[in-house]
Amino acid sequence: MNNNNKDQIEYCNILKTSTRETYNNIEKVFCPVLKEYVIFNARGFHHLLYKPDGTARDVCEIIYKMTLFPLAVPVIKNSVGISDEREIEIRENRKKNTKIKKAKTYALVAVVGKRNPVSVRVIVLKIGTGNYMFLSIMKD
C-alpha cells in the first residue's frame, strides 16, 4: 500500500468519526416539503458506508458522501419539492433473512452552500407507514 492510499484511508477514518458525531447529534429535522420530521438513524449512517447489498463502499465514495453530509440538513430544510419518488422493496433490517417490505424513496434537492453553491440531492426513505429516514446524499 503506498503512502497516498494510507493517507486516504486515514483521512476517511477521521471523516467517519467526525461525521458520526455530527450525525448522532442531529436526531431529526423538520422537512417543510414532506410536512414531517426526517429521522437520522443507524440505517442512514450505515448506507453512507455500505452499498444496499451490504458490501463496503470504496474509500473515495465514503469520503465523497462524508464531505457532502454537512449539507444534508440544509437540503432537507430548504428543498422546494420532491424531484423523484420511487417504490422499492427493502429488508426490514440488515439481517439477511428478514422480511422484505414495500418502501418509498424521495429525492429532495436544493442549492446549498454560501461560498460555493452546489445542487445537492438527499434521499429520504419511508418503509410502510414508518418515519421518514435520511438514507443518502450526493451532488445532483
Alpha-carbon distance values, 9 to 13, 32, 61, 104 (Å): 6, 37, 12, 33
pLDDT tens track for 44-68: 999 999 998 889 999 999 999 999 9
| pLDDT value at residue 100 | 86
Residue 25: count of CB within 10 angstroms of its CB: 8
| pLDDT value at residue 133 | 97
| pLDDT value at residue 2 | 64
Q: Which of 132, 125, 105 is nearest to 29 (CA)?
A: 132
Q: d(Cα 36, Cα 26) in Å, to the nearest integer?
A: 15
* pTM given for the model: 0.90
| pLDDT value at residue 52 | 84
Question: Please, which residues have CB within 8 angstroms of residue 10's CB and are 6 or more apart in sequence?
Answer: none
What pLDDT tens digit does each residue of the chain (140 aa) get? 566 788 899 999 999 999 999 999 999 999 999 999 999 999 999 999 999 888 999 999 999 999 999 999 999 999 999 999 999 988 777 777 788 889 999 999 999 988 889 999 999 999 989 999 999 999 98
| Angle in degrees, CA 3, 5, 9, rounded to 5 | 115
